[in-house]
Amino acid sequence: MSNLLKDFQVEAKNPSLEARQRWRSSVSIVKNRARRFRMISNLEKLAENDKKRCQIQEKIRVAFYVQKAALQFIDAGARREYKLTDEVRQAGFHVEADELASMVRNHDTRSLTKSGGAEGIAQKLSLSLTEGVRSSELHTREKIYGANRYAEKPARSFLTFVWEALQDVTLIILMVCAVVSIGVGVATEGFPKGMYDGTGILLSIILVVMVTAISDYRQSLQFRDLDREKKKINIQVTRDGNRQEVSIDDLVVGDVVHLSIGDRVPADGVFINGYNVEIDESSLSGESEPSHVNKEKPFLLSGTKVQNGSAKMLVTTVGMRTEWGKLMETLSEGGEDETPLQVKLNGVATIIGKIGLGFAVLTFVVLCVRFVIGKAAAGEISQWSSEDALTLLDYFAIAVTIIVVAVPEGLPLAVTLSLAFAMKQLMRDRALVRHLAACETMGSSTCICTDKTGTLTTNHMVVNKVWICENIKERREENFELNLGEQVKNLLIQAIFQNTGSEVVKDKEGKTQILGSPTERAILEFGLLLGGDVDTQRREHKILKIEPFNSDKKKMSVLTSHSGGKVRAFCKGASEIVLKMCENVLDSSGESVPLSEEKIAAVSEVIEGFASEALRTLCLVYTDLDEAPSGDLPDGGYTLVAVVGIKDPVRPGVREAVKTCQNAGIMVRMVTGDNISTAKAIAKECGILTAGGVAIEGSEFRNLPPHEMRAILPKIQVMARSLPLDKHTLVNNLRKIGEVVAVTGDGTNDAPALHESDIGLAMGIAGTEVAKENADVIIMDDNFATIVNVAKWGRAVYINIQKFVQFQLTVNVVALIINFVSACITGSAPLTAVQLLWVNMIMDTLGALALATEPPNEGLMKRQPIGRTASFITRAMWRNIIGQSIYQLIVLGILNFYGKQILDLNGPDSTAVLNTIIFNSFVFCQVFNEVNSREIEKINVFAGMFSSWVFVAVMTATIGFQLIIVELLGAFASTVPLSWQHWLLCVVIGAISMILAVGLKCIPVESNSHHDGYELLPSGPSDSA
């Protein structure tokens, strides 16, 4: 089978255009192209979108550079004047929406200056830059200036899916046959008897179309909910004088937005204030070089990303008036990238479809030849009647229906159904899957490279210990008793409140709230416990320059004005890095004294002691300067003020989640920026660092020769003091040795590693928008246990599709062979077109609903990951398919050829009764085999069955409708009512397949598996890598 599917292989992530084109061109037999490829990306449309994007980016680039330059030469009097409308004036505003949009779009600094800068625009918009927009004005501003939402394609209606289901070529042919059958039947047999066969086919088609449309429509609603969730982005704004978080959809013109590294600019606006702001405008202009935003270059455009620094922005244009809005409007969706499983099953469907087509043609030819020979033998070869035409039409309808059954259109669509169901359930479990393939790939992951902070730990940090003036002080409940001199205390408070990227604000209830990263919040909370006040510090000392925290430098620095015209630089960061920048240390009197080698050793010992207690250590330092440096802040000459130890407790349940991964053959590696002693302590507490495992620093790892790096890779369990580049290198090399790597990330600099990995997992709480956009899955609660849940659902998707394929192939084989053999021997097919359509619905849409949506069980995490090159249809599946097919063929064959004698059927309706028994037995074989298919290897197929309400509902509906077809719809379905003895016989024939399944599963076909369904695991987690 693998040789036949060589053209149906694509990479799970970033597949090549050649591979995507190759498998599409290899799909030759498709009943309904519109439905089959509905969820698959349209390559022509994607190419068209890329062309449009390039054209729009070129226009925007012209606006950025050419228009901006041209505006310098245009006289102010020649500029367009915007007349204020009565509506704007009556609302209390003094500037038109188009004027604001034009100013920002054209980077018209002259108009901005003329308006009085950001402050002047704020006055025209009737607001204060410190208080922000009033909540009572939101509706008015949205009415005048528009909402921050983009034009979207309207959702597809249910009738659209009905129409799409009707595009099935075989169903169209059957509809034509049905109409002709009704016409000929009424003419020959009269009304209403002549209508039954044709009407039965039409009613069956209507049923198939409605069930298919309902399933597809529900699926589309699930994807629409997921798309809506993907677009949810929150941003910090100042409203009613308070800092608060709102959705970008709720932004209005006049909002004061707070931007930091990794944020996406949510609307067009102008710079109010900020530090070191660099903006990545590549999404709009295509330019890779970041642009600097400041008072001289104050314009910010929606859709761009903050690459560095922090700023406050005044929103001037929202929604469809922004360049980003126009870009979104122009580009239409090209569809979701296909997953490897979808492509593989398209290949399986194509191969089986070709076989089915061959059988259908042979069946039709054999039936026609036998019919002609029969007429010739009767001497009626020259006499043809309308009844003969009706018979030939029935043969054609049977052949077409065989194609309906034989081409398993539902195989690739079952993957989409299963993934949609899994994604919806994961959304409830706080994981947002952004790309379909990620859910599938996660089931094959062999390694998870996880961050520490917030993922393994609670992300609720507190300063637990502090070293200052050569003394260690420990937190007692909510207090620190430091007993410091006034000068030392003042310097410590300055080091805390001056050098921070966070803010202390009041919420609506007047309570103090600290905004910022968990580390910053912990230090500011410590400063507040010491009696510090951020507003007082900011008033007394003006900030001149900020170098924000950088994951490469692992420190943050700030320059402030000081008394006597001097300036003071503060720095804080990774303890061993910042300690090397110090030449002095603060003594108990507040004097700066030299930092001797002995004191450095003593401080290093303190840092090591804190770290061994799983505390994150930071050094707070300062230095006085005569004047502000023109370039970067100094990297030496500092005075050490304090070393703080920050406690971040391990999340409850993490150790168990890590153990679950190790039992499942998934190696968990912790990659952190912390000190190696801190990292080791946390890793041991989580159960990540085991005997024989290696903990290594990023600097040591990146300098290893290639052969040494390859040798040590399988043993690495902890990487400390790592840079984003180290994480990228680790992921890249792990993939080279065959690992399927999932990696977590939250910062902007993690984007390359998230993009490079097989599955990128971004943090929903701590993660930046840049990280989220480069991720495949967003972990909404930042919890490691949620990552394990994604892996479990990924495995469930794969196994569920295997169950469905096993079930459907069994039905395919039996339906094809029984009809073909019967046609060859008896000259008639035991299963009519209507009956085959019902069987098709059982094995296609209903089968997919029942088997492809089963929730995961705990046993899934007690087996090895599915390998990249593993055969999808396993030996165990072939064993089950062949065994069940042989049984069904033998039973149905005996009934077909010897049924009347065995069951003692006599009378004019004996043939009708026998055919009904064959049909009923065949359906019950499928019902019980569907239960068998719940487990491919395990004998107990009932475990968890009643917890899957979808499966139970499908089984109940199938049996109920089968009862109705046989007992009440005989005129349309060519059946007759059966006695209770015959019903019991049909059920027993079906039930025997369950006993057969137990016997089949005891036949060993895999060398490393058992009939309980679990594969042998290595002796320990270190071996499993």
Token pair of 98 as six digits = 């188009």
| Residue type (1 letter), 637 | G
Calpha distance 853→851 (Å, rounded):
6
Catalytic residue among 394, 451, 750, 844: 451
CA distances from 766 to 65, 305, 453 (A): 36, 17, 9
Calpha distance 969→958 (Å, rounded):
15
CB 863 within 8 A of CB 664: yes
Closest CA to 438 of 795, 131, 760, 710: 760
DSSP 744: E
Closest CA to 791 of 726, 864, 688, 896: 864
* Cα angle 267-269-274, degrees, rounded to a multiple of 5: 110
Residues ≥6 apart with Cβ < 8 Å to 837 = 174, 201, 204, 205, 207, 208, 401, 404
CB 309 within 8 A of CB 548: yes
- Whether 451 sits among the annotated catalytic residues: the reply is yes
Q: How far does the chain reach from its first CA to its final CA, in angstroms? A: 29
Pairing mode of beta strands 741-745, 759-763:
parallel
Chain centroid to Cα 739, Å, comes to 20
Pairing mode of beta strands 447-450, 667-671:
parallel
Calpha distance 612→207 (Å, rounded):
68
Token pair of 711 as six digits = 């040798």
How many helices (H) and strands (E) would you count in the chain?
A: 38, 26
Closest CA to 752 of 777, 779, 730: 730
Residues ≥6 apart with Cβ < 8 Å to 8 = 23, 26, 343, 344, 346, 347, 350
Residues ≥6 apart with Cβ < 8 Å to 765 = 454, 459, 780, 781, 782
Token pair of 264 as six digits = 């996406």
CA distances from 214 to 28, 158, 209, 419, 958 (A): 27, 8, 9, 17, 16
Closest CA to 64 of 105, 12, 110, 125: 105
Let me know how long the chain is: 1025
CB 405 within 8 A of CB 839: yes
CA distances from 73 to 64, 116, 682 (A): 15, 20, 62
The residues that are catalytic are 451
